Amino acid sequence: MKKRRILLIGAGGWGAVHLAVYCAHRRWSLSGVADLNPRVLRRVQRETRLGQNQCFSDPIAAIDRGDYDAIGLTAPNPGRIPVLVRALGTGAPVFAEKPLVHTLADLKNLYRAISRSGSVLMVSQNYRFEPQTRRMAEFIRKRRDWGPLRTVLIDFTRNIRDFDDHPVTRLPASFGLNSEQCIHHYDLMRYLLGVNPLRVRARSRRAPDSPMAGWDTIDAWIDFPESTFVNYHASYYTPITRTPWGGRWTLDFLKGSMTWYPYDSDEHRIEFNSPPPRFRIQPSLRSPGRYYNSFLVGTSFEEFTRALDEGRSPECNLRDNAQSLALMWAVERAARTGRPVEFPQFLAKVLDSCP
Ligand SMILES: NC(=O)c1ccc[n+]([C@@H]2O[C@H](COP(=O)([O-])OP(=O)(O)OC[C@H]3O[C@@H](n4cnc5c(N)ncnc54)[C@H](O)[C@@H]3O)[C@@H](O)[C@H]2O)c1
């Protein structure tokens, strides 16, 4: 079978994970890489069979050359926007890292580019593609033997000093913690419950001695339909890293309770606080260890590939991701104003920008 060719834009940091996934894929080959950093391009040339004429320091030149069937984009916000607009303008399918955008104005720009070109866009919200997460969503949504989910207590706490001097520490206001990290958890909440929230209340903080330029801590209280309450605490400024990247989720159902650690690269753990349900959720699923990141990017890239094969819109397309972004902005609005945000009305305004 003829392989599809993909151009990767942004190959440092997390882009190196995408590079590994694309290079190892049986159905794809890497046709080029663009990165602003010449050291990254030299590393790519050493690690791949790409020639110098396939490595670009100018992402727009790489896009305009047109030697690809799809574009993978991991260049970070906010600088990614002109590149993403150009990529979507070509009509080629685009597989982009989260968070898709930081602002509603940028979302509108992307929407305009897509509506002119008809391009397919998928955002790699990889946390939701973990096999155990897929089973958990089925358990929650179909109300298997434990009945409806009543309360979710999410604790996400990492010490920012563990990743000192990462650009995320320099992002102002809500753009660091809320946009770059909490978007994973907001997307997971929507995915697991299969519905959007009704109301959002929140508060945020930047401690006077914080190493973060923007918010270091967020608390949010998010009401979902049918009296399901989510209590969310996220902090980048704690003395120790206490939870994995997915956080620690305590799920209280009508008839049972469990504590779950999604997106944990060491071990896929579930602790049952009451006798386990009959429905199997694989508390002992083995993690692929140091290959965990490429395993997970691989699972969301697989959905992108399948959607192209089947000629359908992928999961985490623009419309779906706009709803997770809306939850991110609702938390921002609620924390900034101190007032609750009625989510359905708030979401309607966001979706008006990308009907
Ligand atoms: N899904 C996940 O679990 C996950 C994990 C980490 C990062 N990310 C996301 O991946 C993206 C990249 O994060 P990172 O940690 O790799 O950042 P990074 O700063 O470590 O690396 C970004 C790379 O992109 C290059 N770059 C920057 N602007 C560019 C541009 N306009 N054109 C071409 N190249 C450009 C830089 O030179 C660098 O090599 C972000 O959107 C981040 O949120 C996702």
- Could you report the per-residue pLDDT of 23-70, keeping only the tens digit for each? 999 999 999 999 999 999 999 999 998 999 999 999 999 999 999 999
The predicted model scores a pTM of: 0.97
What DSSP string runs through 270-297?
EEESSSPPSS---TTPPP-GGGHHHHHH
**Torsion sign, CA atoms 185, 187, 188, 190:** positive
Tell me if 180 CB under 6 Å of ligand 1.
Answer: yes
Tell me if 9 CB under 6 Å of ligand 1.
Answer: yes
- Of 63, 181, 75, 67, the closest CA to residue 113 belongs to 63
Tell me if 130 CB under 6 Å of ligand 1.
Answer: no
Please compute Rg for the chain using Cα positions.
Answer: 20
User: What is the spatial distance between Cα 54 and Cα 198, in angstroms, rounded to a whole number?
Assistant: 48
- Of 84, 106, 129, 92, the closest CA to residue 298 belongs to 129
- What does the CA dihedral 258, 259, 261, 266 come to, rounded to 10 degrees? -100
User: What is the spatial distance between Cα 347 and Cα 168, in angstroms, rounded to a whole number?
Assistant: 26
Say what the pLDDT of residue 267 is: 67
Q: What is the pLDDT of residues 149-184, one digit of tens each?
A: 999 999 999 998 877 678 889 999 999 999 999 999
Say what the pLDDT of residue 193 is: 97
Are 96 and 84 within 8 A, CB to CB? yes
Are 313 and 307 within 8 A, CB to CB? yes
Say what the pLDDT of residue 291 is: 75
Tell me if 79 CB under 6 Å of ligand 1.
Answer: yes
DSSP code, position 237: -
User: What is the spatial distance between Cα 257 and Cα 276, in angstroms, rounded to a whole number?
Assistant: 9
Cβ partners under 8 Å of residue 29, min gap 6: 3, 4, 5, 6, 22
Within the chain, which residues score under 50 in pLDDT? none
Say what the pLDDT of residue 37 is: 98
Say what the pLDDT of residue 152 is: 98
| Ligand 1 centroid to residue 157 C-alpha, Å | 22
- Of 166, 134, 118, 104, the closest CA to residue 351 belongs to 104
Distances (CA, A) of 216 to 154, 248, 252: 16, 18, 28
SS3 at position 37: coil
Q: How many residues does the chain have?
A: 355
Cβ partners under 8 Å of residue 209, min gap 6: none
Say what the pLDDT of residue 183 is: 98
Are 173 and 78 within 8 A, CB to CB? no
Expressed in percent and rounded to 5, the helix, strand and coil fractions of the chain are 40, 20, 35
Tell me if 36 CB under 6 Å of ligand 1.
Answer: yes
SS3 at position 146: coil
Are 98 and 328 within 8 A, CB to CB? no
Q: What is the position in ligand 1's atom list of the atom closest to the CA of 35?
A: 34
SS3 at position 96: strand
Q: What is the position in ligand 1's atom list of the atom closest to the CA of 9?
A: 33
| Ligand 1 centroid to residue 310 C-alpha, Å | 29
Cβ partners under 8 Å of residue 353, min gap 6: 104, 107, 108, 111, 322
